[in-house]
Amino acid sequence: MKNENKKTGLRVIPLSGAETVGLNCYVIEYNDDIFVVDYGVTFPAGESYGVDYILPPLQWLQENKKRIKAIIVTHSHLDHIGGIPFVIDKLGYPPVYGSPFSMEFLKEKLTEVKKEKQTKLFVANESDVLTFGEVKISFIHVTHSIPQSYAICFETPEGRVVYTGDYKLDPKPINQKPTDMKKIEDLGKKGVLVALVDSTNAFEPGKSLSETEILEELIEVIKNAQGRVIIAAFSSLVNRLGGVIEAAKRLNKKIFVTGRSLESNLKIAMRIGYIHPQSGVFVTHKQLNNIPDNQLIILTTGSQGEPMAALTRIATNRHKLLTIKKTDTVIMSSSIIPNNVLEVQNLMDAIARRGARIINNKIMNVHVSGHPNQEDCITMAKALNAKYTIPVHGFASFTSQLRYVYKQAGLPEASVFVPVEGGVFFFDKGTIIQEQKLDVEEVLVFGKKILSPTEPLLADRKVMASEGICHVSVARSEKKPPEFAVSLRGFVTAEEVEEMKTEIRNRLIAQVSKIKDEKTMKKQIYTTLGSFFHNKLRRYPIIAVELVSNY
């Protein structure tokens, strides 16, 4: 895992986030100094067997933690910042820098794991320049779907490295100014050696829609709604939340907010002065029943069909205050994450059965991405005018597609290097050299533990879930033959279980009873039952054996 490279100089390492969506983590290394840019988190797809989160590779960072000068945060989406609370102690608590909103958000997350006092959080404003030896770090405002997002510039003696982070080129964003293209163009004129760029929407033609266009669509829907309007959005889509507040102001409506993460992000946005709601726009649960339906907007989490999210509980009559009414209009103001398609469909079906109207992005423009479409990517590339480009933020097909988009736009295809995770790019007098990749491996969060994907505990849980478990307790005595108690879980029906237990006991009595040595007895039980389950059921359940002496 150790980096055996001997040459000093500049290295750019997409540690994670170059072949997957989420798990963003990039390393800028100059001589002995390491700067970690973002450390995100993602959620397991499909059956997780108890895994709560997936984190970027950690081992190389741990091995080199004494060289980490800082963690630089581009913005506060979980796929860029969510892993920091899990690993900050394992990295020796290096200082963390980011925008006011990002640092407030991270502080909340650190408080949840009781690490906020040990972690050194520093607010970095757009005008700030951080100096670490020969490296200077500056920040460029970019428009995204969460407040105060940054692109980052690392100025080194070898050249400038610019990482765009998540961005979009929205000429009329809500509650923020547009991406600072002048600052980016100025960097391009001075000279950018290498740019790490967002490829999330590399397959989307044209330009990304403006958040203002989405606001106008939302206002039209809310104005024409017969009863309550329920808007489900990502809690991190703070710009959209600001738009809903603006819609309520224009239409003289009230807002009720439900969902813990939503409430938390709104409080942070108001605390730093990003959102300024008019007095009385928000109503409490005590005031809820006093507001006529046609004057009420309900802002909720749950756009991805999460089982415990507020909208799912509302739709399935499990919310303590709300349920769906026939006169409701439910707006799904988000895109569907691919892994959540079935969950979202089930949620919409539950809403439809209660008679409410559903509006999503297929019907009206009620959601827009916070990432650049193809024309925006080309505009950014021309502004940066980088000698080399490394596409990130996406599956391998996304990063490869961005290279094709550049080629079609007449940009030099040979200057675009599609990365692999753990790939190492070394720069020698302005020339890019691909060195041997690091041996990287994602890590898993299981409860409060951080585990390797090869951890036996996870393999055991997978087998238990798919194959079941057989527990055999053997009571041994000098005066009489051993007695076998058998428990079966997860692979036989209630009708079969007693017959199966009897057959297992009979086999063990026949093949194991006369064995005196404990080690030999255990081995024979495993062999006997393994063969039995394979031949009879074509299954391989976990076999657990317990020997109890009863003299």
pLDDT of amino acid 485: 93
Rounded CA-CA distance 65/225 in Å is 56
Q: Which residue has the higher pLDDT, 368 or 94?
A: 94
- Rounded to 10°, the helix 238-251/260-271 angle is 80
The pairing of strands 96-98 and 53-55 is unpaired
CATH number of 468-549: 3.10.20.580
- Range with the lowest mean pLDDT among 63-67, 93-97, 212-216, 459-463? 459-463
Single out the residue of 242, 245, 247, 249 nearest to residue 218, CA to CA. 247
Cα 239-196-434 angle, rounded to 5 deg:
160
* Helix, strand, coil percentages in the chain from 3-state DSSP, rounded to 5: 35, 25, 40
> Is residue 103 over pLDDT 50?
yes
- Contact present, 418 and 17 (Cβ < 8 Å): no
According to CATH, the superfamily of the domain at 214-359 is: Metallo-hydrolase/oxidoreductase (3.40.50.10710)
pLDDT of amino acid 3: 47
Rounded CA-CA distance 500/502 in Å is 5
pLDDT of amino acid 341: 82
Cα 400-403-405 angle, rounded to 5 deg:
110
Mean pLDDT of 69-95: 96
Grouping H, G, I as helix, E, B as strand and the rest as coil, residue 489 is strand
Place of tokens 């691919």: 338
pLDDT for 125-177, tens place per residue? 999 999 999 999 999 999 998 889 999 999 999 999 999 999 999 998 888 89
pLDDT of amino acid 338: 65
Grouping H, G, I as helix, E, B as strand and the rest as coil, residue 461 is helix
pLDDT of amino acid 363: 53
Counting every residue, how long is the chain?
551
pLDDT class of 254 with cuts at 50, 70, 90? very high
According to CATH, the superfamily of the domain at 10-206+369-451 is: Ribonuclease Z/Hydroxyacylglutathione hydrolase-like (3.60.15.10)
Q: Domain segments of the chain: what residues? A: 10-206+369-451, 214-359, 468-549
pLDDT of amino acid 90: 95
- Residue 433: strand pairing partners: 426
- Contact present, 390 and 191 (Cβ < 8 Å): no
Contacts of 547 (CB under 8 A, 6+ apart): 474, 476, 518, 521, 522
182 backbone φψ class: left, alpha, beta (φ>0; ψ -120 to 50): alpha
The amino acid at 539: R
Q: Which residue has the higher pLDDT, 125 or 463?
A: 125
> Is residue 4 over pLDDT 60?
no
- Joined together, the tokens standing for residue 189 give 């004129």
Provide the Cα torsion 452, 395, 393, 58; round to 10°: 10
> Is residue 365 over pLDDT 60?
no
The pairing of strands 159-163 and 149-156 is antiparallel
pLDDT class of 484 with cuts at 50, 70, 90? very high
Grouping H, G, I as helix, E, B as strand and the rest as coil, residue 33 is strand
Grouping H, G, I as helix, E, B as strand and the rest as coil, residue 380 is helix
- Joined together, the tokens standing for residue 110 give 């650190």
pLDDT class of 2 with cuts at 50, 70, 90? very low
pLDDT class of 520 with cuts at 50, 70, 90? very high
Place of tokens 């946005």: 269
Rounded CA-CA distance 105/121 in Å is 11
Q: Maximum distance among all alpha carbons in the chain? A: 92
pLDDT of amino acid 462: 79
**Model-level pTM?**
0.85
Place of tokens 């692999």: 420
> Is residue 393 over pLDDT 70?
yes
pLDDT for 430-455, tens place per residue? 999 999 999 998 888 887 778 777 77
Contacts of 280 (CB under 8 A, 6+ apart): 254
Q: What are phi and psi of 504, to 5 degrees?
A: -65, -45
Rounded CA-CA distance 445/83 in Å is 10
> Is residue 251 over pLDDT 90?
yes
pLDDT for 176-233, tens place per residue? 899 999 999 999 999 999 999 999 999 999 999 888 888 888 889 899 998 999 999 8
Contacts of 433 (CB under 8 A, 6+ apart): 425, 426, 427
Contacts of 116 (CB under 8 A, 6+ apart): 107, 110
Sequence-ordered alpha helix ranges (H) in 292-332:
310-315
Contacts of 531 (CB under 8 A, 6+ apart): none
- Contact present, 94 and 69 (Cβ < 8 Å): yes
Q: What are phi and psi of 239, to 5 degrees?
A: -60, -40
